[in-house]
Amino acid sequence: MRLPEDTIAAIVEEVAASHLGVGDRLARVRVRRGHGWQGDPLLWIDLLFTDERLALDTRRTLSLIGVVHDRLVIEGEDAFPVLSYFSRPDSDELTHAAE
């Protein structure tokens, strides 16, 4: 099943804010559908944080993918999540570079 991207973003925002302990410093979650090199369905998920000096716990960021995946499976999503972490200034730079 394919959940709407805005539903996926809301789920990821809820799970990530709780699991990472970042609260309102998680500014936005972006979701794009895609495929892996063997054609498997993927969800490219960008987590945008407000604070560029935010120190994330590596153990929590590594385990977040499993927590997000498990929750998405429970909700009926088939695609596997691939997570990327950005601060808002990093995201702005990437956006301008791509234009």
| Average pLDDT score over residue span 2-28 | 92
Contact of 92 with 28, CB cutoff 8 Å: no
Which of 69, 98, 97 is closest to 83 using CA atoms? Answer: 69
| pLDDT reported for residue 5 | 96
Q: Reduced to 3 states, what is the DSSP secondary structure of residue 51?
A: coil
pLDDT at 52 over 80: no
Instruction: Give the confidence band of 41 by pLDDT, cuts at 50, 70, 90.
Output: very high
Which of 36, 47, 33 is closest to 3 using CA atoms? Answer: 33
| pLDDT reported for residue 97 | 43
pLDDT at 24 over 90: no
CA distance 47 to 54: 13
Instruction: Give the confidence band of 54 by pLDDT, cuts at 50, 70, 90.
Output: confident
| pLDDT reported for residue 50 | 84
Instruction: Give the confidence band of 91 by pLDDT, cuts at 50, 70, 90.
Output: low
What domains sit in the chain, N to C, each tagged with a CATH number? 5-98 (3.30.300.20)
